[in-house]
């Protein structure tokens, strides 16, 4: 298959099929704009995107079921090349009339205020759940888990229904924060309150034309999209 792709690269330039794996967060909130640009620049490439939790995407990369993956908090693997692309801010997400929204000051929310709050979290086994548990544990917070869900969109709806609050990547709630359906508050004294996003592929993978262009696009554009400066200002009420 790789030999055929090498020949096609020489004969036709960038064409053929590109199969990407992406975590649910990346697929929903990060990739659409980037894939639109990729499509404009590579109109002859057939794109396929498979979504799932980051650990599953890593397995698909190893099995060569996808050409590359875009994942969060990749732990590393000896047979996988991982290119760190950016880190993006996490935030505390509350509904507009939550007491935290009116008490928010320039300094953000401190870790002590989260004690005893009803938290809405992702299901166990997901990177986002592990991240939230790690942040809360390192800060000594014993938050009460109110709901467990399997996707970020559902979590946002539950927050809007005033069933609790959550720690989410700002990129996932940017639209709701701008329209003031939700309030996104910075975490001013929680350690490591950011997540890393990486593109991964097998170390022995031949970077055929469209795959090479995809990786280059991520490296040149994603830092701009996901940099901390583009994740602010947070909603202020």
Using CA atoms, how far apart are residues 26 and 67, in angstroms rounded to an integer?
A: 16
Alpha-helical (H) ranges within 16-149 are 24-25, 31-41, 54-62, 99-103, 127-138
Residue 105 has what pLDDT?
Answer: 54
Residue 234 has what pLDDT?
Answer: 43
Per-residue pLDDT of the chain (237 residues; tens, 9 = 90+): 777 766 766 555 567 789 999 998 899 988 999 999 999 988 888 899 999 888 899 999 999 999 999 998 898 999 999 999 888 888 889 999 998 887 665 456 666 677 788 899 998 888 888 888 887 777 777 667 889 998 999 999 999 999 999 999 888 998 999 999 999 888 776 655 778 899 999 999 988 888 999 999 999 887 655 533 444 444 443
For 141-172, give one letter per residue: b (16+ CB within 10 A) or e: bebeeeeebeebeebbebbeeeebbbbbbbbb
Give the predicted TM-score (pTM) of the model.
0.79
Decide: 197 and 55 in contact? Cβ < 8 Å. no
What's the token pair of residue 28? Answer: 């929903």
Decide: 69 and 162 in contact? Cβ < 8 Å. no
**Cβ of 102: how many Cβ atoms within 10 Å?**
10
Residue 11 has what pLDDT?
Answer: 55
């Amino acid at each position: 298959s790789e030999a055929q792709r090498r020949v096609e690269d020489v004969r036709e330039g960038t064409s053929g099929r590109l199969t990407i794996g992406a975590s649910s967060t990346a697929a929903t909130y990060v990739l659409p704009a980037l894939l639109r640009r990729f499509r404009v620049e590579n109109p002859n490439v057939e794109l396929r995107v498979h979504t799932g939790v980051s650990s599953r995407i890593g397995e698909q990369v190893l099995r060569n079921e996808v050409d590359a993956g875009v994942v969060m908090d990749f732990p590393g693997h000896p047979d996988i090349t991982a290119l760190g692309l950016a880190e993006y801010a996490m935030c505390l997400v509350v509904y507009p009339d939550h007491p935290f929204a009116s008490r928010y000051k320039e300094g953000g929310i401190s870790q002590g205020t989260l004690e005893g709050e009803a938290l809405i979290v992702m299901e166990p086994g997901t990177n986002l759940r592990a991240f939230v548990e790690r942040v809360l544990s390192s800060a000594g917070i014993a938050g009460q888990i109110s709901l467990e869900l399997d996707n970020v969109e559902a979590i946002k709806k539950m927050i809007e229904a005033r069933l609790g609050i959550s720690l989410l990547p700002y990129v996932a709630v940017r639209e709701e924060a701008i329209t003031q359906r939700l309030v996104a508050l910075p975490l001013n004294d929680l350690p490591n309150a950011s997540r890393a996003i990486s593109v991964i592929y097998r170390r022995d993978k031949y970077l055929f034309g469209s795959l090479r262009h995809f990786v280059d696009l991520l490296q040149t554009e994603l830092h701009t999209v996901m940099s901390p400066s583009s994740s602010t200002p947070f909603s202020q009420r």
